[in-house]
């Protein structure tokens, strides 16, 4: 039997093989239609005599099964809990058939196997995995506000132990084939080209010794674990989850509680409990928000950055970098780590030496070693060439400047680089605030120039802003986007404008924090409101991390561009004059002169703030939250009005990846849609008198009147 997504083959007369290979998709996913096809095949095999085994494989290189079809999930508006439970039970009962066949079932896994795909292979008797970096298995459902619903929480603890299962399911991270083998999830590791051969050998061995039948019985029963062990795991697991999620993500806790409670049940009862608990998470605002973030990321991976499908990016085979400071060395590390040779230069010999050292250490960092891997460092060192001769970058395909944030210095350098390089070399700037059109004025070929703005620290920040000037060509943009993706980043394309996207949305938030301080609101109240909303840190701590001096200069750019909406704060000026620049100087809004460099309250700051209090306002936590985040929303609607982004989704991806806007809110515009026009307008009404920064924008008015969303997650 063959079908659109599955085919049934027989590598031997006594062995069946189900091959997942949906020709309509780049990855195999478990839609309801695919489940129907699987059911039909299992029905056919149930009537076949003489089978010793079944092998499940994938026909797609690098992909086994990428999970359930999330578009079906997203399409379920306000789902009925009973319907959700039925959906879970259908999947559980279908997959459970793999553990009840009169022959042994083996999953032969090569590539990514996650979500529903991981659940399916757990219902097989045995698993063989291709030994290589592309093969991994995991349960990422908690990152979507859910947990496994097709038997994963019931089956996995019985196979690899409750502690291992809790770590995999509640953490949501995939593990390698080697890790799966060590914990007993995989029974064999083989080269990819021997996968089917190994599966057939395993079937023969199991058919002869029938050890799999003993495991079938064992995995049906309750777990062999004491109440004391359960209580300890529940307490420690819950404490760790709360520490990691700050209570904003309910799915990991729900998964933990479900597995703890199901430990004393048989697998059938455990599956029913899983379905019941799953239904309480499915379709919630957090679930829908996190699914939206998944779609934002998925769309970005497929977006070439230009609308013309005929435009093809050029391959960047080498990168030249001017400036070996924090940004230059970070970009160099990201490039050589992904196989792009780098030539880096700096006018200061010591800065160049330190930059090369930092780049190599960062690129060769090994998490298990908690430091650089000597072997990896030796492999990468030849990819990084340091020089103080500008001519050395002449042969690079792309040259990027990451020097001081001074328009005159950057423009002069870019003009010099253009003279050195050939007509096919692309030029880029890593500026965070200076208009691209201004820097392009010094160039003879501005069509080959754009902004490629990485964020600090480069190793951790996934966002890259690709900024096109008025004369930047589509080929340049497409090449910059493809290059950023090659480095593992998520690029969004913007039209030129002060602050681009991230800083333009971020500065209203940070500036409003200073306005609140001038109204007598304490640092602690502001920080708690921000982190309570879900931000990774409050705006005051962010000032210290970014640097008071950096914020001062960037704020001047924003004030010159949008003066009516940006009120200069004397607090920032005062700190700047004192050279209290934040973490870099050991003192800012907080002190950092303790041995661990942790932020500590500074009594002198309290005295400084009191001198700048212009009025005393008693504001609730909710009012402070509105003051901080509504200016961001309003500025985002102005960005839409100015058509700086190609799609509203780019705003939400930008604020999540570039600012740390809480993913469980789905993005800035998605949050507004979730709140709804009536609430948003009611939040803004008492704030309009505070000035132009709270003025209702035309885009917001049209949104409120239309009743439509800023975008639809199924578009």
Task: Please count the CA atoms within 13 angstroms of the CA of 567 that sit on its side-chain side.
Answer: 15
Poorest-confidence range of 182-191, 392-401, 592-601, 674-683? 592-601
C-alpha 318/C-alpha 340 separation (Å) is 6
Distance, CA of 7 to CA of 21 (rounded, Å): 8
Domain architecture of the chain: domains with CATH: 6-283 (3.90.226.10), 319-499 (3.40.50.720), 503-643+646-706 (1.10.1040.50)
Can you name the residues that pair with 151 across neighbouring β-strands? Answer: none
The length of the chain, given as a count of residues: 715
Which tens digits make up the pLDDT trace of 56-90? Answer: 999 999 999 999 998 888 887 678 999 999 999 99
Cβ atoms within 10 Å, residue 486: 16
Rounded-to-integer distance, Cα 277 and Cα 255, Å: 8
Rounded distance between C-alpha atoms, residue 488 and residue 463, angstroms:
10
- Asked if residue 3 has pLDDT above 80, the reply is no
Tokens of 172: 């949501």
Catalytic entry in 209, 453, 612, 626: 453
| The pLDDT of residue 315 is above 80 | yes
Q: Give the confidence band of 615 by pLDDT, cuts at 50, 70, 90.
A: confident
> Residue 715: what pLDDT?
57
Strands 63-65 and 112-114: parallel
Under the banding of pLDDT at 50, 70 and 90, the label for residue 1 is very low
> Residue 570 CA to chain centroid, in angstroms?
37
Does residue 612 have an active-site annotation? no
**CA 347 → CA 114, 352, 360, 511, 650, distances in Å?**
48, 8, 20, 35, 37
354-367 confidence digits (pLDDT tens): 999 999 999 999 87
- CA pair distance 375, 366, nearest whole angstrom: 10
> Which pLDDT does position 714 carry in this prediction?
54
Q: Where are the alpha helices (DSSP H) in 172-313?
A: 177-182, 195-209, 211-218, 227-245, 251-262, 267-281, 285-302
Reported as half-sphere exposure (CB side, CA atoms, 13 A), residue 552 has a value of 18
Token pair 């420690």 is found at: 236
List Cα–Cα distances, 105 to 15, 21, 53, 159, 618, in angstroms.
10, 19, 6, 15, 66
User: Which of the two residues, 457 and 554, has the higher pLDDT score?
Assistant: 457
- Reduce the DSSP state of residue 25 to 3 states and report it: coil
Name the strand (E) or helix (H) holding 604: helix 603-611
The residue with tokens 């149930």 is 46
Pairing of β 175-176 and β 136-138: antiparallel
What Å distances lie between residue 466 and 320, 551, 652, CA to CA? 17, 22, 16
Residue among 523, 527, 582 nearest 550 (CA): 582
- C-alpha span between 426 and 479 (Å, rounded): 9
Residue corresponding to tokens 């609430």: 679
CB 412, CB 444: distance < 8 Å:
no
> CA angle 236-238-240, nearest 5°?
70
Burial environment of residue 369 by CB neighbours within 10 A (0 to 12, 13 to 18, 19 or more):
exposed
For the full predicted model, state whether its pTM sits above 0.85: yes
Burial 642-658 (b: 16+ CB within 10 A, else e): eebbebbbbbbbbbbbb
pLDDT tens digits for range 423-433 = 999 999 999 88
Nearest to 154 by CA among 250, 65, 68, 269: 269
Burial 226-236 (b: 16+ CB within 10 A, else e): eeeebeebbee
Contact predicate 175/136, CB 8 Å = yes
- Worst-scoring range by mean pLDDT, 68-72, 309-313, 664-668? 68-72
Q: What is the pLDDT, as a whole number, of residue 409?
A: 94
Residues 461, 462, 465: CA angle, nearest 5 degrees: 100
Question: Can you count the helices (H) and strands (E) in the chain?
Answer: 30, 20
CA distance 135 to 181: 12
Q: pLDDT at position 713, please? A: 57
């Amino acid at each position: 039997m063959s079908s659109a997504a599955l085919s049934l083959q027989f590598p031997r007369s006594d062995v069946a093989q189900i091959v997942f290979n949906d020709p309509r998709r780049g990855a195999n996913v478990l839609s309801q239609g695919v489940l129907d096809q699987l059911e039909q095949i299992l029905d056919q095999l149930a009537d076949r005599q003489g089978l010793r085994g079944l092998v499940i494989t994938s026909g797609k290189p690098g992909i086994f099964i990428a999970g359930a079809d999330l578009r079906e999930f997203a399409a379920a508006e306000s789902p009925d809990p009973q319907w959700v439970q039925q959906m879970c039970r259908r999947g559980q009962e279908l997959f459970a058939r793999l553990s009840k066949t009169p022959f042994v079932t083996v999953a032969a896994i090569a590539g990514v196997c996650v979500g529903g795909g991981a659940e399916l292979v757990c219902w097989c008797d045995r698993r063989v995995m291709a030994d290589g970096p592309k093969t991994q298995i995991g349960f990422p459902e908690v990152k979507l506000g859910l947990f496994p619903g097709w038997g994963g929480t019931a089956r996995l603890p019985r196979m690899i132990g409750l502690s291992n299962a809790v770590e995999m399911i509640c953490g949501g991270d995939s593990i390698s084939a080697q890790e799966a083998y060590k914990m007993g999830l995989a029974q064999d590791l083989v080269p990819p080209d021997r996968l089917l051969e190994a599966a057939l050998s395993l079937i023969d061995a199991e058919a002869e010794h029938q050890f799999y039948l003993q495991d079938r019985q064992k995995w049906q029963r309750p777990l062999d674990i004491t109440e004391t062990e359960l209580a300890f795991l529940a307490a420690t697991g819950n404490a760790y989850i709360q520490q990691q999620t700050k209570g904003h993500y309910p799915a990991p806790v729900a998964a933990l509680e479900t597995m703890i409670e199901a430990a004393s049940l048989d697998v059938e009862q455990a599956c029913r409990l899983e379905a019941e608990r799953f239904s309480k998470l499915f379709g919630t605002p957090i679930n829908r928000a996190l699914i939206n973030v998944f779609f934002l990321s998925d769309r970005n991976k497929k977006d070439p950055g230009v609308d013309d499908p005929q435009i093809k990016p050029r391959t960047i085979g080498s990168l030249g970098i001017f400036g070996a400071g924090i940004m230059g060395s970070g970009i160099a590390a990201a490039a050589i780590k992904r196989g792009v040779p780098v030539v880096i230069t700096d006018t200061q010999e010591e800065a160049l030496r330190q930059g090369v050292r930092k780049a190599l250490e960062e690129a060769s960092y090994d998490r298990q070693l908690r430091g650089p891997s000597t072997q990896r460092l030796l492999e990468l060192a030849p990819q990084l060439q340091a020089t103080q001769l500008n001519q050395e970058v002449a042969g690079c395909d792309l040259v990027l400047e990451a020097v001081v944030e001074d328009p005159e210095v950057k423009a002069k350098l870019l003009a010099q680089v253009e003279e050195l390089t050939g007509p096919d070399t692309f030029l880029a700037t890593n500026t965070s605030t200076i208009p691209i059109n201004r820097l392009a004025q010094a160039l003879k070929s501005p069509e080959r120039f754009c902004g490629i703005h990485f964020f600090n620290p480069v190793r951790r920040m996934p966002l890259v802003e690709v900024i096109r000037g008025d004369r930047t060509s589509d080929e340049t943009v497409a090449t910059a986007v493809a290059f950023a993706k090659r480095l593992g980043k998520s690029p969004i394309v913007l039209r030129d404008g002060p602050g681009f996207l991230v800083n333009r949305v971020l500065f209203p938030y940070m500036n409003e924090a200073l306005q609140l301080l001038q109204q007598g609101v304490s640092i602690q109240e502001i920080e708690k409101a921000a982190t309570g909303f879900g931000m990774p840190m409050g705006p005051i701590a962010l000032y210290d991390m970014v640097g008071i001096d950096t914020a001062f200069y960037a704020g001047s750019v924003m004030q010159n561009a949008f003066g009516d909406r940006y009120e200069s704060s004397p607090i920032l000026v005062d700190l700047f004059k004192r050279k209290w620049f934040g973490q870099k100087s050991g003192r800012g809004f907080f002190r950092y002169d303790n041995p661990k460099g942790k932020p500590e309250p500074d009594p002198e700051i309290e005295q400084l703030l009191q001198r700048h209090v212009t009025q005393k306002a008693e504001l609730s936590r909710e009012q402070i939250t509105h003051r901080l985040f509504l200016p961001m929303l309003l500025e985002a609607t102005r960005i839409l009005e100015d058509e700086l982004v190609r799609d509203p989704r780019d705003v939400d991806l930008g604020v999540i990846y570039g600012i740390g806007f809480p993913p469980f809110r789905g993005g800035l515009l998605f949050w507004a849609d979730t709140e709804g026009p009536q609430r948003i307008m009611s939040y803004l009404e008492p704030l309009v008198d505070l000035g132009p920064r709270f003025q209702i924008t035309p885009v917001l008015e049209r949104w409120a009147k239309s009743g439509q969303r800023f975008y639809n997650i199924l578009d």
